[in-house]
Amino acid sequence: MSEHAPYVASFNPLVRRYMLIYVAWMLLITVVFSPLILIWVLGPGQWWAAEYFRKLKCVLDDKVLSFRKGILFQVEKTIPLENIQDVTFIEGPLLRQFNLSLLRIETAGMSQGQAHTMQLVGIVDAHALRAEILRRRDRLRAPQPLPSDASDRHVKLLEEIRDRLDDIAGLLRKRADPAS
């Protein structure tokens, strides 16, 4: 059972306008597609930005960070907190114009090449979410104290293991020296 209630992040509605302008900017810098900017901004871009915003979701509990984003290519990911290496807070010029920020979550895998980076834009109070992710991750990584009766159980178990090893050593000595 979870110690703390899940932290459900909310997203700034300005993400819709940011995404609309971001794609328009990408069309502009490709030059070839720059004539499509007006069509994008007045037509499908409005729907796309609203739908993208509607599908954004981010939930943090005591063990994992789950999020969902995307329209055509939807990303739904659950990241165990112990795999999170860093959570970076980023504000660029365009993001600052909309009072938005970007959280970059960096993870590490068990083998080389499994590290991943995920970015979430427009989280309301991103600093608080970042602090909460790191706090819960650190608490999860901290050694857990043993229950008070655990040390007695461990001593008894170790004594049983020692006795069993003594029996095995005696059997091996008998096998090695059949004269005994």
- 157 and 74, same structural domain? no
Q: Which domain holds residue 55?
A: 7-141
User: In this structure, are residues 65 and 137 in contact, taking their beta carbons and an 8 Å threshold?
Assistant: no
Q: Do strands 84-90 and 75-80 pair parallel, antiparallel, or not at all (unpaired)?
A: unpaired
The answer to whether residue 123 is domain-embedded is: yes
Q: What CATH number is attached to the domain comprising 33?
A: 2.30.29
- 152 and 136, same structural domain? no
- 103 and 19, same structural domain? yes
- 83 and 162, same structural domain? no
- 110 and 83, same structural domain? yes
Q: What percent of the chain has pLDDT over 70?
A: 89
- 154 and 114, same structural domain? no
The answer to whether residue 2 is domain-embedded is: no
Q: What percent of the chain has pLDDT over 90?
A: 36
Element (H, E) at 66: strand 64-69
- 114 and 38, same structural domain? yes
Per-residue model confidence (pLDDT) at position 147: 66
- 89 and 15, same structural domain? yes
The answer to whether residue 1 is domain-embedded is: no
Per-residue model confidence (pLDDT) at position 1: 42
Q: How confident is the model at residue 11 (pLDDT cuts 50, 70, 90)?
A: very high
* Number of domains into which the chain is organized: 2
The predicted-structure confidence for 103-140, as pLDDT tens digits, reads as follows 999 987 655 555 678 888 999 999 999 999 999 999 88
3-12, 102-111, 137-146 — most confident range: 3-12
Per-residue model confidence (pLDDT) at position 112: 58
The predicted-structure confidence for 45-80, as pLDDT tens digits, reads as follows 999 999 999 999 999 999 999 999 988 889 898 899
Per-residue model confidence (pLDDT) at position 180: 58
- 156 and 129, same structural domain? no
- Distance between CA 148 and CA 128 in Å, rounded? 35
- Distance between CA 28 and CA 22 in Å, rounded? 10
What DSSP designation does 82 have? Answer: G
The answer to whether residue 111 is domain-embedded is: yes
- 39 and 15, same structural domain? yes
DSSP string, 95-154: HHHTT--EEEEEE--SSTT--EEEEEE-BTTHHHHHHHHHHHHHHHHSPPPPPTTHHHHH
The answer to whether residue 177 is domain-embedded is: yes
